[in-house]
Amino acid sequence: MNRGAWTAEEDKILSQYIKLHGPRRWKTLSIQSGLNRCGKSCRLRWLNYLRPNIKRGNISEAEEDLILRLHKLLGNRWALIAGRLPGRTDNEIKNYWNSHLSKKINQSQHQPSLSQQQQLQPPPPPQPPQENVPPPPPPKIQEEESKGNYFEFNFDTNEFIDFSAEGNFCEIDWVNTFLELDDELYELPC
């Protein structure tokens, strides 16, 4: 099996095969196309680079803002976030987050807002343990927060938020309003 960077010739073979047979059955594709690549590699190459309408680079301020907001809402659900940014891939969003946005957030965390400063008040002194009294079960929300710096939603966000509307996502004002309302609830991830 070939590994590493794809060549232009391999891209051509993959594109031609998918044009004929469609983007599915990746294992079969990798064998029948003659590409000496594993199916997973073929799938990734198609999804991230070869499929139509892929946008590359130059993430706009509006897109960046939307990524920040969606990340605040959804956490590291890159595929879900990328699905709201036409032409962008989960891999690109993830890379952009790790190399650009996470730094921005770290910088902004070093300059806490007033509300954040209020949260930095020292915690109350620990209560002495009470004998023969079992500790209360931890609140459920605490358990779910421990999975990440965001709440685990037990509903389908696709049902909750209809993102099916095409066009300029900045026009979805109520989403922006909703996300702004979250500002006090969600801490930015580290």
Partner DNA sequence: AACGAAGTCAACCGCTAATTT
Partner DNA sequence: GAAATTAGCGGTTGACTTCGT
Q: Which residues bind DNA (CB under 7 A)?
A: 2-6, 24-28, 37-41, 43-45, 48-49, 56-57, 76-80, 90-92, 94-96, 98-100, 103
Q: How far is the CB of 75 from DNA (least distance, A)?
A: 8
- Residue placing its CB nearer to DNA in the complex, 95 or 108: 95
Q: Are 44 and 79 in contact (CB under 8 A)?
A: no
Angle at 126 between CA 120 and CA 130, to 5 degrees: 155
The token pair at 70 is: 């969606």
The token pair at 51 is: 């499929």
Q: How far is the CB of 87 from DNA (least distance, A)?
A: 13
Q: How far is the CB of 161 from DNA (least distance, A)?
A: 16
- Residue placing its CB nearer to DNA in the complex, 9 or 184: 9
- Residue placing its CB nearer to DNA in the complex, 12 or 100: 100
- Residue placing its CB nearer to DNA in the complex, 36 or 116: 36
Q: How far is the CB of 180 from DNA (least distance, A)?
A: 23
Number of Cα atoms under 13 Å in the Cβ half of residue 121? 7
Q: How far is the CB of 6 from DNA (least distance, A)?
A: 4
The Cα-based distances of 175 to 8, 75, 78 in angstroms read 41, 16, 18
Q: Is 34 left (phi over 0), alpha (psi -120 to 50) or beta?
A: left
Residues in the chain: 190
Q: Are 120 and 112 in contact (CB under 8 A)?
A: yes
- Residue placing its CB nearer to DNA in the complex, 65 or 94: 94
